[in-house]
Chains A and B, each alone.
Chain A
Amino acid sequence: MEKIEITLNINDKPCEVRVFPNDTLLEVLRDELDLTGSKESCGEGVCGSCTVHMDEKPVRACLTLAMEATGTRIKTVEGLANGDDLSDLQQSFIDHGAVQCGFCTPGMLMSADALLNENPKPDEKTVRMALAGNICRCTGYAKIVEAVGHAGNPQDHCPDCKTKE
């Protein structure tokens, strides 16, 4: 098999990489581009820890071929913050204690970010369904669900919501 040169648009930057036709997007992100924020937990499309956005839609990078990603806009967890400025969602994860070991966190954030882009004030059930493809072994999900629901949408009753100045 020969490597092919492709250009990927990742976090709004063009990236030229040489890939095998059977390389997954996850392999290319992690091994070629050193974007190791996207994680591999199952490698078979079950756990969601490799979730990235392809044209704003969450996809599993472990099941996506790098070649398929040409001509699309890819966003990874590294592209969520604006420099050092965290997004509301990232800050909300921190404030609500939604991060324990943090291995599922990048995938959770990407699934949740896609949800919030479509529906900025989802109810709890909607959040739980939107995250049903992301496995977290540590948190029992309660704080993650809260963090997503309260992101950019602070609730008076919540002791962990920091009202934004």
Chain B
Amino acid sequence: MSDYTIIGKRMPRVDSRAKVMGKAKFTADLKLPGMLVGKIKRSPYAHARILNIDTSKAEALPGVKAVVTGKDTEGVKWGVFAYTRDQQFIQIEKVRYIGDEVAGVAAVDKETALKALDLIEVTYEELPAVFDPMEAMASETDLIHEDFPNNINIHVNIDTGNVDENFAKAHYIREDTYVAPEESYFQAEPYAVVARFDHEDCLEVWMPNGGPHMKSKPLSNAFKIPLHKVKVRKIAIGGAFGGRSEICPVDYICALLAKKTKRPVRIQFTREENTIGTRQGHAMITTHKTGVDKKGRVLARETTCYMDGGAYSSTGPIATSVPFLSMEQAYRMESVRYNGYRIYTNKPIRGMIRTHGRGFACGLDTQLDMIADHLGIDPVEMRLRNSRQPGEYTSTKSYVDSCAMDETIHKAVEKSGFKKKWGKLPPYHGIGIGTNSVQTGFPMGIRGGSQSFIKFNEDGEATVMSGVVDNGQGNDNMLIQIAAEELGLLPEDIHLVSADTETTSSDPGSYSQVSTFVGGHAVKIAAQNCREKLFKVASKVLKVEPDKLAAKNRLIFIKDDPEKSIPIRKVVRISLLNFNSVNAEGGYWPRVDMKREWVKNPYGQMCEAFSFGTTIVEVKVDPDTGQVKVLEATAAQDVGYALNPLVLEGQFEGSIAMGGQGGMLTEYHEWKDGRCINPTMLDYKLPLACDMPPKINNIIVESVDPKGPYGAKEAGMSIAMSAAQGYSAAVSNAIGVYMDSFPLTPDKILAAIKKKNHK
């Protein structure tokens, strides 16, 4: 169907060359003249009052250039929403988790900075700490935040349809509880920040981020300086996975040290700090109660989820909602009641992660399989009877336009041989299916849209400016593909200026899966506007109406007579000589319901498009060791339209690794009195090349969304989620026990097998 030249092609990424040569610069690679080393002093207590901080000895140490504490701050508190501003960048009164920031140091080298940290004397008065969300919720005193009774940070309540009536009508009802502990991002690049104030007192700052404009605004608030004085710069980023979208106290502390010393400062996290001092995934306890009719169609569902939010709000309201939203998008339910509680505990802060709500989603799918089992329906049929269809509304009243959920199921089933294998595999050999959906965008108010500028240079090449950030997923290449396609240039003719808050307009960032749909769209529109200007000039030379023209391979030509053409370079020069500008702008704002609010009004259009994914997994379990060997994974996603299949496949495969292999088999945190005991790569088990299934089948399904650029939606997220579900279903199927505690580590698998054999 496509007559695109560059879009839809397997195009190797433009940013790869610098990366394979070791030339790409990440934040920790930056060196600025006079740069100091910054380090953070962190709380050793999970909950304590700060009685006194004495920095005099540290300040007296030769080589120490500045020490900052909460007293040096403007007292501004951070929170994503006005009602969640609960985190000071450096604590003054109280610390709330082991790792909370109490001071920062800048010194001439690392050794001196570390020595200075030891010389800062903090006197604490320990307070009772609470690490279990259910206990925290029962607490009336010693609250973690005084103004949040029972330590309840966020409560999201959604109630649609006649839940109680429908339960009364249901043919079969089940209620089950599922649990999963915290997981972490483990981005390859440990967090790092470089900051300096320039000669115009502008703050210039580099750090891995999920959206530079989401960093610049809070920094401008915190320093009480205008937004244009905060220049978040572009830098290569070693992964985000949802964990680097918000401001992090260290961004502020690094800038504060730079301000105080009048020198550039670099803070580089250790691996442990990256785990403790940024964000983690939430631990969740989820109870699903589901009532179905005789055919297995869901009539009523009631879900209650308790999320361990850690010490501060972070993206709390969003995090409390998204696991539910993903499931209400994936599956139809006639009526549903959801109560999500995000609870403060004295543990590190939890945010959004690529497989946010793994226990929630795996629980829901496990329960569907149990119900199907009871009714004598196979899991595929069970999903097809409940799967989302195009043209419907979700329970919270989002219209779903394009949707090829069923096609992803059918294609994955066929490719994996599910029907032939289901129920016929030998003992300890299983197959399972998971389906999921993610949203392409969140309602983000004035930051919901993206704008792009394009300028032609006199040599006929173009510079594209966009606020979109590339965390490693390939957004830079995506923007260049779009611009080259629309302008009729080659990718190498496009210079991209992106992710820099000085030169680019506001953009929602990458963390709501919206880079292509919104940011890419803005570039497409800007490029079309620019092309229109060129066509106007070219039409005079070629003596046809502009609408008879097309552009490709650096030429503008007559569609019906392609031999008649003129080089774009020439058109640019003619334009300039005739006083015509060859610049253009374009923007895209998704039409979402601006009245929708996460807590107060969780109803209305959430975003313009949703992606849908199915993952089928085949495993063998060793009944003596509990080890799981994954034989094959098949991932099918409705991406809308594949802008670059090569990049898409990489997203699918990475999603299988993070959501399935790691997320469902090995990844979780362990704790002792609020201290994370496996914060490093040595103790936290990430999947390796030799662990991965030897075969991953990627199936790209295209529903061509009417609003997405070229019909595109998002790439890979609904695979990450459905992979977790597919893995858990396959293991449950292999051992003949429906598992309710994730991830499925060998000890749990062995215990389940043992219990089953005892019956």
Contacts and interface: CB of A to CB of B under 8 A. Distances in A.
Contact of B692 (A44, A93, A104, A142): A142
A49 interface: yes
A35 B29 CA distance: 9
Nearest to B647: A97
Interface string A79-94: 0110000100010011
A53 to B, nearest CB: 13
A90 B18 CA distance: 10
A21 interface: no
A46 B238 contact: no
Contacts of A81: 21
A121 B416 CA distance: 30
A128 interface: yes
Given A46-B681, A95-B12, A86 B20 contact: yes
A36 B29 contact: yes
B689 A132 contact: yes
Contact of A140 (B24, B236, B694, B696): B696
Contacts of A139: 650, 653-654, 657
Contacts of A159: 10
Interface of A: 30, 34-44, 46-47, 49, 76-78, 80-81, 86, 90, 93-97, 99-106, 109, 124, 127-129, 131-132, 134-145, 159-160
Q: Which of A95, A99, A102 has the most CB of B within 10 A?
A: A102
A77 B692 CA distance: 26
A106 B238 CA distance: 12
A35 B22 CA distance: 8
10 residue pairs, one from A and one from B, having the closest CB atoms? A37-B22, A101-B472, A102-B19, A103-B238, A140-B653, A140-B657, A77-B22, A103-B188, A36-B29, A90-B20
Contact of A141 (B21, B238, B689): B689
B654 A105 contact: no
B31 A34 contact: yes
Nearest to B635: A140
A144 B649 CA distance: 12
B654 A138 contact: yes
Contacts of B21: 37, 77-78, 80-81, 86, 90
Task: Give the most central of A37, A99, A139: most B CB within 10 Å.
Answer: A99
Given A97-B647, A140-B654, A142-B692, A44 B17 contact: no
B748 interface: no
A6 B647 CA distance: 44
A100 B22 CA distance: 14
The main secondary structure of chain B at its interface with chain A is loop
Given A36-B22, A145-B689, A100 B654 contact: yes
Place the interface of chain B in its size category.
35 or more
Given A94-B20, A140-B658, 5 more contacts: A46-B681, A47-B188, A97-B647, A100-B654, A137-B686
A46 B188 contact: no
B28 A40 contact: yes
Interface of B: 10, 12-13, 15-26, 28-29, 31, 185-190, 236-239, 241, 270-271, 471-474, 646-647, 649-650, 652-658, 661, 680-682, 686-690, 692, 694, 696
Contacts of B692: 128, 140-142
A27 B20 CA distance: 20
Nearest to B241: A137
Contacts of A34: 31
Contacts of A76: 22
Contacts of B28: 36, 40
Give the residue among A100, A139, A160 with the most B Cβ atoms within 10 A.
A100
Contact of A128 (B12, B657, B690): B690
Contacts of A124: 694
A98 to B, nearest CB: 8
Contacts of A103: 26, 187-189, 238-239, 472
B646 A42 contact: no
A143 B10 CA distance: 13
A138 to B, nearest CB: 5
A141 B475 CA distance: 20
Contacts of B473: 100, 138
A100 B15 CA distance: 9
Contacts of A134: 689
28 contacts: A35-B22, A41-B188, A41-B190, A41-B271, A46-B682, A77-B21, A86-B21, A90-B21, A94-B17, A99-B19, A101-B237, A102-B20, A103-B472, A105-B20, A128-B692, A131-B690, A134-B689, A135-B188, A137-B654, A137-B657, A137-B686, A138-B472, A139-B654, A139-B657, A140-B656, A140-B696, A141-B692, A143-B653
Contacts of A131: 688-690
Contact of A160 (B271, B474, B646): B646
A141 B690 CA distance: 9
Nearest to A47: B681
Q: Which of B185, B650, B656 has the most CB of A within 10 A?
A: B650
Contacts of A39: 26, 188-189, 238
Given A77-B22, A135-B686, A143-B653, A102 B236 contact: yes
B644 to A, nearest CB: 9
B686 A101 contact: no
B499 to A, nearest CB: 14
Contacts of A49: 188
A142 B22 contact: no
Contacts of A137: 185-188, 239, 241, 654, 657-658, 686
The CB with the most chain A CB atoms within 10 A, among B680, B689, B694, is that of B689
A106 B271 CA distance: 19
Contacts of B31: 34
Contacts of A95: 12
Contacts of B690: 128-129, 131-132
A141 B653 contact: yes
Contacts of B187: 101, 103, 137
Q: Name the residue in B10, B29, B189, B190 with the highest tally of chain A Cβ atoms < 10 Å from its Cβ.
A: B189
Given A132-B690, A134-B689, A139-B654, A43 B649 contact: no
Nearest to A41: B188
A42 B653 contact: no
A109 B23 CA distance: 14
A41 B681 contact: yes
Given A40-B190, A46-B682, A129-B690, A100 B650 contact: yes
A145 B690 CA distance: 10
A57 to B, nearest CB: 19
A100 B472 contact: yes
Contacts of B22: 35-38, 76-78, 80, 106
A61 to B, nearest CB: 13
Contacts of A40: 28, 190
